């Protein structure tokens, strides 16, 4: 993966170094209205970026559309951007996904740098080159794999996040811990994310990103082992879709945390994942994330959402499971009976 990950103790210096490494004619910064207000003021006076042309889009996943993308392309065109211009995406996953796609496609591709400002985007979205937009009612339907030249991770921005958004990102870190080792996972369970020590959090973020980086380096375009990063997401996306349909607000990481529990049950059932660690994870998730409630009448819909997941071929449902912590089993096919059992287990637990 041709992507530098910088843990920024000094954001100004890291940004100057990152931008200095890329020859460019014009510099652009993409923000959304939230990060324009909360995060742009942190960097806007830095010498290296103060003359950049700032493009601002609407926030939240609803704005991750073709219309917003066209607005960014238009702004780039009107400001005379070329293939040799440089884009800095300053924001959460929506900004880094859409901005990465806009940069990757404008004039067949300009270089971009990500400065993710949420925990979720620091440990997941901004790293590994997945870019894109939602389309035709489906999330991330159109996009390309193309890595940011550099991702700058600074705990400065994490201080502006509320507990829910910290927990949302932390679910992806728990996933990386499960994929990595018992030590990494246990360290995450011990850390107090509700009242975090930000220096320690920064160290944990670096470790977590390293887990993702290693997997992505092995398989940048998700032909094989990168599917490991989908742990918790087959069930988690189904929960998100059901919540959306019923007008219930659910943050992505919460759905991932609940999805992890469901998929650890399947892991125990099909691959021998230890019950003790499954129950430890259950206790942690219930304490911090609560529980997503559904009824038997929702099973068909949940199964339907799972079968529409992008990584499935045909009608079977493909999961990433674990034989134990760090023992990754991709391409596990579960029968409808096993999936219903999983839904029963979670509902009744």
Is the Cβ of residue 229 or residue 242 nearer to ligand GLY in the bound state?
Answer: 229
| Least distance to ligand GLY, CB of residue 294, Å | 24
Task: Tell me the C-alpha to C-alpha distance, in Å, between residue 336 and each of 60, 181, 299, 306.
Answer: 34, 30, 10, 11
Is the Cβ of residue 216 or residue 262 nearer to ligand GLY in the bound state?
Answer: 216
| Least distance to ligand GLY, CB of residue 285, Å | 19
Q: Are 321 and 270 in contact (CB under 8 A)?
A: yes
Distance of alpha carbon 189 from alpha carbon 182, whole angstroms: 10
Q: Are 208 and 172 in contact (CB under 8 A)?
A: yes
Q: Of 107, 128, 235, whose CA–CA distance to 171 is shortest?
A: 235
Residues 202 to 231: which contact ligand GLY by CB under 6 A? 226, 229
Distance of alpha carbon 215 from alpha carbon 227, whole angstroms: 9
| Least distance to ligand GLY, CB of residue 345, Å | 25
130 near ligand GLY, judged by CB under 6 A: yes
Report the residue closest to ligand GLY, judged by CB: 229
Is the Cβ of residue 252 or residue 298 nearer to ligand GLY in the bound state?
Answer: 252
Distance of alpha carbon 194 from alpha carbon 164, whole angstroms: 9
Residues 141 to 180: which contact ligand GLY by CB under 6 A? none
Distance of alpha carbon 88 from alpha carbon 186, whole angstroms: 35
36 near ligand GLY, judged by CB under 6 A: no
| Least distance to ligand GLY, CB of residue 138, Å | 16
Is the Cβ of residue 53 or residue 206 nearer to ligand GLY in the bound state?
Answer: 206
Q: Of 126, 144, 123, whose CA–CA distance to 203 is shortest?
A: 123
Contact residue for ligand GLY among 128, 132, 177, 232 (CB under 6 A) = 128
Identify which range of 35-43, 72-80, 88-96, 122-130 contacts ligand GLY by CB under 6 A. Answer: 122-130
124 near ligand GLY, judged by CB under 6 A: yes
Distance of alpha carbon 38 from alpha carbon 301, whole angstroms: 39
Q: Where does this chain bind ligand GLY (CB under 6 A)?
A: 124, 128, 130, 226, 229
């Amino acid at each position: 993966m041709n992507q530098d990950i910088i843990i920024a103790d000094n954001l100004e210096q890291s940004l100057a170094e990152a931008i200095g490494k890329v020859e460019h004619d014009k510099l652009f910064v993409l923000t959304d209205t939230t990060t324009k207000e909360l995060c742009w003021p942190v960097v806007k006076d830095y010498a290296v970026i103060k003359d950049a042309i700032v493009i601002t889009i609407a926030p939240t996943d609803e704005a991750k559309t073709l219309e917003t993308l066209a607005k960014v392309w238009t702004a780039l065109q009107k400001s005379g951007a070329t293939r040799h211009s440089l884009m800095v995406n300053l924001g959460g996953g929506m900004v880094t996904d859409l901005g990465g796609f806009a940069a990757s496609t404008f004039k067949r591709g300009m270089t971009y740098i990500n400065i993710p400002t949420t925990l979720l985007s620091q440990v997941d979205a901004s790293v590994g080159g997945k870019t894109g937009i939602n389309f035709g009612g489906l999330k991330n339907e159109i996009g390309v794999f193309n890595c940011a030249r550099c991702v700058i991770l600074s705990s400065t921005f994490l201080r502006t996040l509320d507990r829910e958004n910290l927990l949302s990102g932390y679910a992806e870190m728990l996933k990386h811990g499960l994929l990595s080792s018992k030590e990494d996972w246990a360290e995450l369970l011990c850390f107090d994310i509700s009242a975090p020590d930000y220096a320690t959090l920064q160290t944990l973020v670096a470790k977590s990103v390293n887990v993702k980086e290693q997997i992505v380096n092995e398989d940048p375009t998700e032909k094989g082992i990168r599917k490991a990063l989908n742990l918790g997401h087959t069930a988690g996306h189904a929960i998100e879709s059901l919540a959306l349909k019923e007008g219930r607000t659910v943050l992505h990481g919460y759905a991932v945390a609940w999805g992890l529990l469901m998929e650890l049950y399947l892991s125990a059932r099909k691959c021998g994942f230890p019950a003790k660690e499954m129950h430890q994870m259950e206790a942690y998730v219930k304490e911090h994330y609560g529980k997503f409630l559904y009824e038997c009448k929702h099973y068909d819909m949940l199964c339907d959402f799972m079968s529409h997941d992008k990584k499935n071929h045909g009608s079977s449902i493909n999961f990433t499971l674990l034989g134990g912590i760090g023992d990754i089993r991709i391409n596990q096919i579960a029968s409808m009976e096993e999936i219903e059992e999983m839904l029963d287990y979670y509902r009744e637990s």
